[in-house]
Copies of this chain bind each other. A is one copy, B any other.
Amino acid sequence: MIRKLQVNDREKLVSIIESTNNFSDEEKKIAMELIDDALGNPNHEYYNVFVYEENSTIAGYHCTGKRALTDGVYDLYWIVVDQNIQNKGIGKQLLDHAENFVKENRGRWILAETSSKDSYDATRNFYMRNNYSIVSQIKDFYKVNDNLIVFGKYIRT
Q: Number of A interface residues, CB 8 Å?
A: 25
For A27, give the chain B residue with the smallest CB separation. B69
Q: Is A150 an interface residue (CB 8 A)?
A: yes
Judging by beta carbons under 8 Å apart, are A135 and B138 in contact? yes
Q: Which residues of A in the span 79-93 have a Cβ within 8 Å of any Cβ on B?
A: none
A70 contact set on B, CB distance < 8 A: 141-143
Shortest distance between the CB of A80 and any CB in chain B (Å): 15
Shortest distance between the CB of A26 and any CB in chain B (Å): 6
Cα separation A91 to B70 with both chains bound (whole Å) = 25
Cα separation A71 to B138 with both chains bound (whole Å) = 14
Cα separation A48 to B111 with both chains bound (whole Å) = 27
Cα separation A41 to B120 with both chains bound (whole Å) = 35
Rank and list the top 10 A-B pairs by shortest CB-CB distance, nearest first. A136-B136, A135-B138, A70-B142, A71-B143, A108-B140, A73-B141, A70-B141, A30-B68, A26-B69, A69-B142
Listed A/B pairs (30) with beta-carbon separation below 8 Å: A24-B69, A26-B68, A26-B69, A27-B69, A30-B68, A30-B69, A69-B142, A70-B141, A70-B142, A70-B143, A71-B142, A71-B143, A72-B140, A72-B143, A72-B144, A73-B138, A73-B141, A108-B140, A108-B144, A109-B140, A109-B141, A111-B138, A135-B136, A135-B138, A136-B136, A136-B137, A136-B138, A136-B150, A138-B152, A140-B154
